[in-house]
Amino acid sequence: MTTALKAPPLGPMLDDIVRGHRPHRVSGSVPANIPLLAAVPFNRFGIAVATASGEVFSSGDADVPFSIQSISKVFTLAMALRGDSSGTLWSRVLREPSGTSFNSLVQLELEHGIPRNPFINSGALVVTDHLMEETSDAATQVLRFLTAQAASTGPFIDEAAAAGELAGSSRNLALAHFLKDFGNLNRTAESVVENYVRQCSIMMTCVELAKAGLFLARDGRGARGTVVSPSDAKRIGSIMLTCGMYDAAGEFAYRVGLPGKSGVGGGILVIVPGECAICVWSPRLDAKGNSLAGTAALADLSDRTGWSVF
Amino acid sequence: MTTALKAPPLGPMLDDIVRGHRPHRVSGSVPANIPLLAAVPFNRFGIAVATASGEVFSSGDADVPFSIQSISKVFTLAMALRGDSSGTLWSRVLREPSGTSFNSLVQLELEHGIPRNPFINSGALVVTDHLMEETSDAATQVLRFLTAQAASTGPFIDEAAAAGELAGSSRNLALAHFLKDFGNLNRTAESVVENYVRQCSIMMTCVELAKAGLFLARDGRGARGTVVSPSDAKRIGSIMLTCGMYDAAGEFAYRVGLPGKSGVGGGILVIVPGECAICVWSPRLDAKGNSLAGTAALADLSDRTGWSVF
Amino acid sequence: MTTALKAPPLGPMLDDIVRGHRPHRVSGSVPANIPLLAAVPFNRFGIAVATASGEVFSSGDADVPFSIQSISKVFTLAMALRGDSSGTLWSRVLREPSGTSFNSLVQLELEHGIPRNPFINSGALVVTDHLMEETSDAATQVLRFLTAQAASTGPFIDEAAAAGELAGSSRNLALAHFLKDFGNLNRTAESVVENYVRQCSIMMTCVELAKAGLFLARDGRGARGTVVSPSDAKRIGSIMLTCGMYDAAGEFAYRVGLPGKSGVGGGILVIVPGECAICVWSPRLDAKGNSLAGTAALADLSDRTGWSVF
Amino acid sequence: MTTALKAPPLGPMLDDIVRGHRPHRVSGSVPANIPLLAAVPFNRFGIAVATASGEVFSSGDADVPFSIQSISKVFTLAMALRGDSSGTLWSRVLREPSGTSFNSLVQLELEHGIPRNPFINSGALVVTDHLMEETSDAATQVLRFLTAQAASTGPFIDEAAAAGELAGSSRNLALAHFLKDFGNLNRTAESVVENYVRQCSIMMTCVELAKAGLFLARDGRGARGTVVSPSDAKRIGSIMLTCGMYDAAGEFAYRVGLPGKSGVGGGILVIVPGECAICVWSPRLDAKGNSLAGTAALADLSDRTGWSVF
């Protein structure tokens, strides 16, 4: 259950969290297959909180753009659900924790081409394919959506980074062809992976991401009106809580107790239902692929504020 | 986020839920390997709500005892955490969703004998083994705990049922010997399985179970003082949400949005943090082993009351 | 152990086998993903034996060309071993039975991109990639090899069939990209799959295939001199026996007792070491993907002649 | 194909093999869970050949008894087939290579309790259970069989070793209870494992084992008449070739080219159809659980003699 924040005030608290959690020496890892991500200085750390009442608090490198990577999956899912008048999306992807690595083909084979949830790579490819039914350039649509929600012209697709990441996308191409083989992909494998990689290569700041994710804390109401229904907003939150942190969803729920979604760019988006959206960013990752300093900072923030859904 | 209940009053609402969800014809299944469970009439349906303020509402067969089965795992986990001064429990069992069936040996082999979480059978056997370090008759300890929390002398171990279930416990014996082989069981496989089966054979009513589980909605404070710390109470809730409904945890979080734990006896215990504990019971199960009518009733109740952690 | 053939003479025996095993009604299946194979009349049945002494016996539809499909893997393996002066092939593919389906990605993931053997699809893609180091048009090289060994200008690549099969090659593309991701493919996934599919689309008759495979029964000596060393000939035989019949290698060794390699075109190539090479063809397949009538005919022939390595 | 042995004479050749392959320093491993096996001096090495014509050649420690362990599975399979008038054995166990470790529970779960072949532990437990339908003391029956075939009163069950091994048999007990759960075990899990362990604890010399296995090289004819039919003798050979060396069956077929069965006591029994049975023994094991020096010696012997079924 969330507890209303009394004191201390949020601004100084975020400053304190930046002081306590910004890395002082190199630890953790960076994704081996995405060269540009490895070039980010290890000691970057930013945090932003966008509240339901319209305030934004931030500290550290909260205005430095970073690659949102898998955090994009939250927004493509919301867009797909918004447009899913036929209600077919949930016949193509499940909503269960996977218990396996985010890019594993094993479970996909055992379950005949139906991904376990929209946040593992195979599931996100299906969601992207679903979005492409409306427009073949789904990545640009996602960018427009984020720009509108963040009320900022800052977000952009780093096309050079996307091209570099695409060159190392053999695993995602394998997943996409595998989905195609099971009949669970309408567009070509190559075009879906390209759109997926470009979505992941969107660059945003902590402040922009917190604002963009706020609709999930506000029963689906975003910057320009309803994004998704209240029940879909709750449901996206439930999927974030059970599936949002790769193979460490249980550990994150245990330590932080809030719906979250991480990306290998080092960002984590967290929702406090009814209260606020939080984005933290620090580039070095733990063994499960989640931001090392970011996860620790969120646990700290949860302890200090009492924010937890439990 | 939980929403304070305004109207309609809870009593009539539970009556209405019983009217709407009590099965009128046989559907779903019963566990093949536990004969006594199959004998329960298909149209049993009860529901009880124990509130943080001390009230209890109930309707239907809420005073009929049933076999709590895996719901016992919530209580043995709480007891083990309470007594885990050495902090060793979490080195023997993880806190991640399993993505596989509740009694699968596959993941246990791949992960070298460390169960994925305390609510799959292998994890519960480890928790039971942990409890047995204090007393070899762990099942009786669990019964005493439940009797005290429920403030009722009603709960009892159905020893005949336990003996029958033990005779069909080959799968659990396989799991226990497998854990033993990996060095993750201190007592003999046979004694741990026996204690586990006897815990599962505890008979309780919906009213008793809701009252016994209330400490989880009250920051760990039970009928006779603190059961677990506030943080442990939250953490048990997070494990229930991510792992409590066998291989349908994600679906349950999506539909109901509350921490829950089901048993193949047809009961489900649900926690509304800060508000109440709910127990629903109806014996026929869906394909994942969760009460068919019980799950539907909880989704209905969640919609009517707005109770949801998201 | 092989037993020298005494009587009855081979010609009449083959006629008798054709009479006994040619299908009279539709049974078994055809590969769903390769339309052209499904169009072959169900009652085609041919058999040919090429002996070490230079004779060729045949009966039935032994001069009707059919798609050799996976039988090509025996020849690409021989060609790759012949040219493997660096000895690197066996660091890229193992020689163990797989215990799983011929096109499964599961084992490939668990074993980090090293295929279990050269006769499952992933292994054959690695062998093809290996061949392509010499010439990018490996399929044409394979055709030339077969033409030379069969001493016949008959074999040809059915390019229309190959194009059709390529369009349905999502699974093989998934495997190839997956191998690429593990660093076990040098050429592009697309080019390797294209070469692989064109090799599989080579059309040959039973007589031609029996002659082409004879070098394996003659310590590696083919129509135009040494193809592979005697030890490599034996070793290819051992891989055929343990891995040549998809997931039915054990059953085939048990019933027939000879090294064999089947294709989903309905052909089976069998080696009787020191004696002869046999090719049987009938298009309808059993559940494991091996020719139904072909397997039965070979078991019959093994019983009548005593041919068996055991 | 087997090649008749010409020269050099077998006696001196075995002496030469002992000189070349007896270990001079500690390498490889011993089974961690069977203490008595670890106590055998690392430099033990013996070899014996029993020919179809009745001669026996041997060298090194060929008269030192060792624990036959899994080599017993060849004989229990032969005994079970001999007595399987109902023909039910092959409905309870398959004949395919497993592709996984000898004591894995994974495949057993995926294939619903039907072991992949009689030489992995789960399959051997089913065979033992089958034997126990005739006599509850199956181990003593196996001992009698071996004594008769070896024409020696030497073989004995090391009951102390068996008791020690039984105490560490958690994995086998897990397999047995798992089989029981799937309905593929008639006797109790405990009694089957006890019989299985006692069979494995039979002590024999290389000379005795070579003589006892000779019936498999002689179309099923043993020391005292027919043991199994010629076709069953061939079929046991085919199972040895495809499944006899744990997860290295393909490698052994590739290097040695003969049907073999190894045990973690360091022994390997090999059949040269029509010619002879060979037993080699050296206690240190490779990573797959097969005798390190024994495997090398057999590859050497195969090269020198030309003995190979391919």
pLDDT digits (tens, 9 = 90+) for A83-114: 877 779 999 999 988 866 667 777 888 788 99
CA distance B274 to A309: 10
Where would I find the beta strands (DSSP E) of chain D? 46-51, 56-60, 66-67, 156-157, 202-204, 221-222, 225-226, 260-262, 267-272, 276-281
Residue B8 is predicted with a pLDDT of: 59
Please indicate whether residue A70 is annotated as part of the active site: yes
Record: contact D116-C97, CB cut-off 8 A: no
d(CA C293, CA C268): 10
Span between the terminal Cα atoms of chain C, in Å? 5
Q: Which residue has the tokens 């720009």?
A: A147
Least confident interval from A18-27, A268-277, B246-255, C263-272: B246-255
Mean pLDDT calculated for residue range A137-150: 97
| pLDDT confidence bin for C85, thresholds 50/70/90 | confident
B240 burial type by CB count under 10 A (0-12 exposed, 13-18 middle, 19+ buried): buried
User: Hunting for tokens 């050079």 — which residue is that?
Assistant: A160
- Residue ranges of B for the binding site? 70, 121, 165, 172, 196, 246, 264
pLDDT at A4 over 50: no
A121 labeled part of a ligand binding site: yes
Q: Tell me the sheet residues that pair with D59.
A: D47
* D9-19 average pLDDT score: 96
* pLDDT of B187: 97
The Cα of D48 is separated from the nearest Cα of chain C by a number of Å equal to 21
What does R_g of chain C's alpha carbons equal in angstroms? 18
User: Could you say which of A242, A247, A309 has the minimum Cβ distance to residue B250?
Assistant: A242
The token pair at B147 is 């009797």
CA-CA-CA-CA torsion sign (A15, A20, A21, A27): positive
Integer CA distances (angstroms), C27 to A247, C30, C299, D273, in order? 46, 10, 19, 37
What number of other Cβ atoms are within 10 A of residue D254's Cβ?
A: 22
pLDDT at residue D1 in the model: 38
* Mean pLDDT value of segment B1-7: 44
pLDDT of residue A101: 67
* Of residues D104, D170, D176, nearest to B109 (C-beta): D104
Name the band, by pLDDT with cuts 50, 70 and 90, for residue D277.
Answer: very high
D130 assigned to some structural domain: yes
Comparison of pLDDT for A165 and A6, the residue scoring more:
A165
- CA D241 – CA D259 distance, rounded (Å): 4
Instruction: Say whether residue B254 is in contact with chain A using an 8 A CB cutoff.
Output: yes
Which residues of chain B make contact with A274, given a CB cutoff of 8 A? 1
Asked whether the beta carbons of A1 and B274 are under 8 A apart, the reply is yes
Q: Which residue has the tokens 């002659």?
A: C211
Return the residue in C81, C96, C229, C307 with the most chain D beta carbons within 10 A, the one to mutate for interface testing. C96
Dist CA B291 CA B286 (whole Å): 6
C-beta of residue D242 within 8 angstroms of C-beta of residue D249: yes
User: Is the minimum CB–CB distance between A187 and chain C shorter than 8 Å?
Assistant: no
Look up residue B26 and give its amino acid.
V
Which chains does D contact via 3+ CB–CB distances below 8 A? B, C
C253 touches chain D (CB under 8 A): yes
The verdict on a CB contact (< 8 Å) between B173 and D170 is no
Q: What is the pLDDT of residues A159-190, one digit of tens each?
A: 999 999 999 899 999 999 999 999 999 999 99
pLDDT given at position B100: 67
The answer to whether residue A97 sits within a structural domain is yes
D86/D76 Cα distance (integer angstroms): 17
Please identify which residue in the block is written with the tokens 């109470």. Answer: B233
- State the chains in contact with B (3 or more Cβ–Cβ pairs under 8 Å): A, D
- DSSP run (H or E) holding C49: strand C46-51
Question: Taking every pair of C-alpha atoms in chain C, what is the biggest distance, in angstroms?
Answer: 55
Alpha carbons C271 and C258: distance in angstroms, whole number: 6
Q: Is D190 on the interface with B (CB under 8 A)?
A: no
Cα–Cα distance for residue pair D294/D258, rounded to 1 Å: 14
d(CA A131, CA A84): 9
pLDDT at A27 over 70: yes
pLDDT in tens, B64-80: 999 999 999 999 999 99
Contacts of C175 in chain A (CB under 8 A): 174
D27 assigned to a ligand binding site: no
Q: Is it the case that residue A262 has pLDDT exceeding 80?
A: yes
Residue A38 confidence (pLDDT): 87
- By mean pLDDT, which of A46-50, A198-202, B14-18, D25-29 is the weakest? D25-29
* Span D207-219, pLDDT tens digits: 999 999 999 999 9
**Whether residue A58 has pLDDT greater than 90:** yes
CA–CA gap between residue C219 and residue A195 (Å, rounded):
54
Of B87-96, C219-228, D274-283, highest mean pLDDT? D274-283
Asked if the C-beta of B189 comes within 8 angstroms of chain D's C-beta atoms, the answer is yes
In a domain, D204, yes or no: yes
- Cβ distance B177 to D181 less than 8 Å, yes or no, reads no
Give the percent of chain A with pLDDT over 70. Answer: 96
Quick one: pLDDT at residue C8? Answer: 59
For C164-194, the pLDDT digits (tens) are 999 989 999 999 999 999 999 999 999 999 9
Instruction: Check A59, A70, A104, A122 and give the catalytic one.
Output: A70
Note whether B206 and B44 are within 8 A (CB): no
In DSSP terms, B58 is beta-bridged to B48
Partner C contacted by D122 (CB < 8 A): no
Give the residue among C14, C8, C35 at the shortest CA–CA distance from C210. C14
- Tokens describing residue B47: 């529901």
- Find out whether A266 and A250 touch, Cβ atoms under 8 Å: no
Q: Is C259 on the interface with D (CB under 8 A)?
A: yes
Whether residue D5 lies inside any domain: the answer is no
- Contact across the interface for B310 and A100, Cβ inside 8 Å: no
| First and final C-alpha spacing in chain B | 5
pLDDT in tens, A128-143: 999 999 889 999 999 9
Residue D194 in any domain: the answer is yes
CB D304 within 8 A of CB D243: no
Are residues D310 and C241, on separate chains, in Cβ contact within 8 Å? yes
Q: Which chain B residue has its CA at the smallest distance from D175's CA?
A: B174
| Integer angstrom CA distances of residue B210 from B213, B223, B261, D124 | 5, 12, 12, 49
C4–D contact, CB cutoff 8 A: no
Asked whether residue B93 is assigned to any structural domain, the reply reads: yes
Residues 6+ apart with CB under 8 A from A207: A48, A50, A56, A58, A62, A63, A150, A152, A279
Q: Return the beta strands (E) in B192-308 as ranges.
A: 202-204, 221-222, 225-226, 260-262, 267-272, 276-281
Q: Please provide the size of chain C in residues.
A: 310
CB contact under 8 A, C259 and D308: no
pLDDT tens-digit series, residues C7-33: 458 999 999 999 999 999 999 998 877
Q: For residue B152, what pLDDT is reported?
A: 95
| The residue to which tokens 């193809």 are assigned | C227
pLDDT at position A23 over 70: yes
Nearest to B109, CA basis, from D122, A219, A114, D131: D122
A106, closest residue in chain C (CA to CA): C106
Q: pLDDT band for position D91 (50/70/90)? A: very high
Q: What is the DSSP string of A155-197?
A: -EE-HHHHHHHHHT-HHHHHHHHHHHHTT--SS-HHHHHHHHH
A5 domain-assigned? no
Distance CA A97, CA B99 (A): 6
How sure is the predictor about B223, in pLDDT bands with cuts at 50, 70 and 90?
confident
Q: Is the peptide bond before C8 cis (omega within 30 degrees of 0)?
A: yes
Grade residue C4 by pLDDT with cuts at 50, 70 and 90. very low
Least Cα separation, residue D190 to chain B (angstroms): 11
CATH classification of the domain holding A20: 3.40.710.10
CA-nearest residue to A180 within chain C is C170
Residues of B taking part in catalysis: 70, 73, 196, 246, 264
Say whether C254 counts as a known binding-site residue: no
CB atoms < 10 A from the CB of C299, how many? 17
Interface check for B193 against chain D (CB to CB < 8 A): the answer is no
Which among A250, A275, A310 has CB closest to B96?
A: A250
- pLDDT for the residue B4: 46
Catalytic residue among A30, A180, A246, A256: A246
Contacts of D6 (CB under 8 A, 6+ apart): none
Q: Does A117 touch chain B (CB under 8 A)?
A: yes
Contact residues, D window 51-110, toward C, CB-based 8 Å cutoff:
94-100, 107
Task: Provide the 3-class DSSP secondary structure of residue A262.
Answer: strand
Take residue A59 and report the two structure tokens written for it.
């500290």
pLDDT confidence band for B102 (50 / 70 / 90): low
Q: Does D193 touch chain B (CB under 8 A)?
A: no
Across the interface, of D96, D100, D273, the residue whose CB is closest to C250 is: D96
A103: annotated binding-site residue?
A: no
For residue C235, give every residue at least 6 positions away whose Cβ sits within 8 Å of its Cβ, in sequence order, or none.
D254, D310
Quote the CA–CA distance of C206 and A251 in Å, as a whole number: 61
ipTM for the predicted complex comes to 0.90
> Could A178 and C189 be called an inter-chain contact, meaning their C-beta atoms sit closer than 8 Å?
no
**pLDDT bracket for residue D8 (50, 70, 90):** low
Q: What is the pLDDT of residue A102?
A: 65
| In the predicted structure, residue C3 carries a pLDDT above the cut 60 | no
Number of structural domains found in chain C: 1
Given an 8 Å threshold on Cβ–Cβ distance, is A96 in contact with B309?
no
- Average pLDDT for B133-141: 93
Question: In a mutagenesis test of the C interface, which of A34, A165, A178 is the best target, namely the one with the most C β-carbons within 10 Å?
Answer: A178
Q: Could you tell me the CA-to-CA distances from D8 to D12, D302, D305 in Å, in that order? A: 8, 13, 9
The answer to whether position D35 is within a domain reads yes
Please give the mean pLDDT across all residues of chain A. Answer: 93
| Tens digit of each residue's pLDDT (9 = 90 or more) over C26-60 | 999 988 778 788 889 999 999 999 999 999 999 99
Q: Which domain holds residue B81?
A: 10-305
Spatial separation of the C-alpha atoms in residues B45 and B48, rounded to whole Å: 11
| Active centre residues of C (catalytic) | 70, 73, 196, 246, 264
- Residues in chain D with CB shorter than 8 Å from the CB of C289 are none
- Beta partners for residue C60, in sequence order: C46
CA B68 to chain CA mean position, Å: 7
Alpha-carbon distance values, A98 to A250, B99, B105 (Å): 11, 5, 16
Nearest to B174 among D104, D106, D178 (CB): D178
pLDDT of residue B305: 95
Cβ distance D310 to C273 less than 8 Å, yes or no, reads: yes
Banded pLDDT at D87 (limits 50, 70, 90): confident
pLDDT value, residue C87: 80
